[in-house]
A and B are shown apart, each in its own frame.
Chain A
Amino acid sequence: MKKIKEFMTALKKAAGLTGTKWVVWEHIQVGKSHCETCLKLNKCWFIEEKKPKLPQHFLCHCTTKPISYTDVVNFATSNSDSSKFDPYLFNRGMAYSHNKQKLFESWGYTIDDADWLQKTIEEQGVEKYINGDYDLGLLNKYGQRINIRVEIPRKDKEGTVSFLTGWMVCPNGRIQLNTPYGGK
């Protein structure tokens, strides 16, 4: 029964029939000046329930327009820089004294897993973003940050661990990894 439900949910998602509505932020210039925050949100994609406050400010003319779930599934992408895993996360060269590498080592991961982690976090990041499984973070003229919880298997024993990753929302369905470990 559970499998049937999961299958139907996946089918509905594929057909764009889920309750989750996606919108694209549209910055509309009316006066002579631009709001830098609104400009940064232009063309960014959010689910209706988790979009930045609208209107953003007094006399804000921004609006949101619906975007099809199919487009979100097809065109949303995630991106991260390998240096956020090696050297940062695994602290190669000991320049980043945060002990997060010990956390990952306690789960059985080493610096050799940096590429795998990068790929897995990117894949889960975009998948969860597409599912609307994100929380809004700080918004300012440099953009909207979001937090996404990812889950990875433990390598030292059975089970999984989950933690927050920090991303920046960019135009046209792209999210860019800010930090690979933002807290448990």
Chain B
Amino acid sequence: MKEMDCVEVTVEKEEYARYGVHKGMQGKTHYKASNADRWYVRFPNCNSKLNEIRESIYAKDLKLLPDGINPKINEEIRRKFGEFIVGDGFCEMDCIEVIVEKEKYAKEGVHKGMQGWICQNGYGDGYWEVNLPQCYDKPDIATLAIHEDDMIQIPVMHAKINEEIKKKFGD
């Protein structure tokens, strides 16, 4: 096996399923893990680099696919397991704006109007891990879970807005 080989997962294992990888899913080897006989494999979805899964898989649990991969199969399998797919609502890497002022967010320095991006897949209960950065080399305001009802998707996020709101609240 070498980098960029097309592969299919041949087993259903809890350690893979936890991260959304199931038997039958197809991907490309990215690189070999340094400390075990495992390969980092990218499992893409259709038409998007976003929300793809990248997981280290034991070489013995993979088989080579000589005819390439079909990302549609990955989406079908993930849907079968009730997992979130790009286009089903929010997705990883989406830009968002916080639309409510709540104490639980405020205590982390996050206020209404702040903008960020979704940095982890949804937790399944309506919450998403969101990162709210500041400009250039300034530290992030927070990385925390925000409920989907408390934010809206926006096309572009501006970290400068976060700095202005932060200043207003004197955080």
A103 touches B143 (CB 8 A): no
Which one of A80, A141, A171 lies within 8 Å of B54 (CB-CB)? A80
Residues from chain B with Cβ under 8 Å of A80 in the complex: 54
Q: Which residues of B contact A123 (CB under 8 A)?
A: 34
Known contacts A83-B92, A103-B136, A119-B31; decide if A97 and B159 are in contact (CB<8 Å): yes
Contacts A81-B92, A88-B93; A98 near B134 (Cβ below 8 A)? yes
Given contact pairs A77-B33, A83-B49, A138-B108, A168 touches B129 in the complex (Cβ within 8 A): yes
CB pair B143–A138 under 8 Å, yes or no, is yes
A172 within 8 A of B: yes
- Select from chain A the residue with minimum beta-carbon distance to B131: A179
Is A96 part of the binding interface, using a Cβ–Cβ cutoff of 8 Å? yes
Does A29 sit within 8 A of B, measured CB to CB?
A: no
By the criterion CB–CB under 8 Å, are B55 and A79 in contact? Answer: yes
User: Do A166 and B144 touch across chains, with their CB atoms under 8 A apart?
Assistant: no
SS class, residues of chain A in contact with chain B: mixed
Residues of A within 8 A of B144 (CB): 138, 140
State in angstroms the CA–CA spacing of A88 and B50 once bound together. 11
A83 close to B140 (CB less than 8 A): no
A residues 67-109 in Cβ contact with B at 8 Å:
73-77, 79-84, 87-88, 94-100, 102-103
Q: Which of A84, A172, A184 contacts B15 (CB 8 A)?
A: A172
Total count of chain B residues near the partner, CB < 8 A:
46
What is the bound-complex CA distance between A81 and B30, given in angstroms?
A: 12
Does A7 sit at the interface, judged by CB under 8 A? no
Assess whether B133 is in contact with A142, with CB atoms less than 8 Å apart.
no
Is the CB–CB distance between A183 and B138 below 8 Å? yes
A141 to B147, CA, bound (A): 13
Count CB-based A-B contacts (< 8 Å). 108
| B135 & A99 in contact (Cβ 8 Å cutoff) | yes
Q: Which residues of B contact A66 (CB under 8 A)?
A: none
Q: How far is the CA of A116 from the CA of B127 in the complex (A)?
A: 31
What's the Cα separation between A114 and B102 when bound, in Å? 36
Check A97 against B117 for contact (C-beta < 8 Å). no
Question: B120–A178 contact, CB under 8 A?
Answer: yes
Contact A142 B127 (CB under 8 A): yes
Instruction: Report how far A114 CA is from B115 CA in the complex, Å.
Output: 24
C-alpha gap A182/B139 in the complex (Å): 5
Whether B95 pairs with A98 at a CB distance below 8 angstroms is no
The answer to whether A96 and B95 touch across the interface, beta carbons within 8 angstroms, is yes
Given contacts A163-B137, A179-B143, A183-B139, is CB(A82)–CB(B42) below 8 Å? yes
A184, closest chain B residue (CB): B137
Taking the complex as formed, is B160 at the interface, i.e. its CB lies under 8 A from any CB of chain A?
Answer: yes
Interface residues of A in 125-184 (CB under 8 A from B): 137-138, 140-142, 145, 163-164, 166, 168, 171-172, 176, 178-179, 181-184
Contacts of A168 in B (CB 8 A): 120, 129
Please determine whether B159 and A99 come into contact, CB atoms closer than 8 angstroms: yes
Residue B119 is within 8 A (CB to CB) of chain A in the complex: yes
* Chain A interface residues (CB < 8 Å from chain B): 73-77, 79-84, 87-88, 94-100, 102-103, 119, 123, 137-138, 140-142, 145, 163-164, 166, 168, 171-172, 176, 178-179, 181-184
**15 A-B contact pairs sorted by A residue (CB < 8 Å):** A79-B54, A79-B55, A79-B56, A82-B49, A83-B52, A83-B93, A88-B117, A96-B117, A96-B157, A97-B158, A98-B136, A142-B129, A166-B143, A178-B119, A182-B139
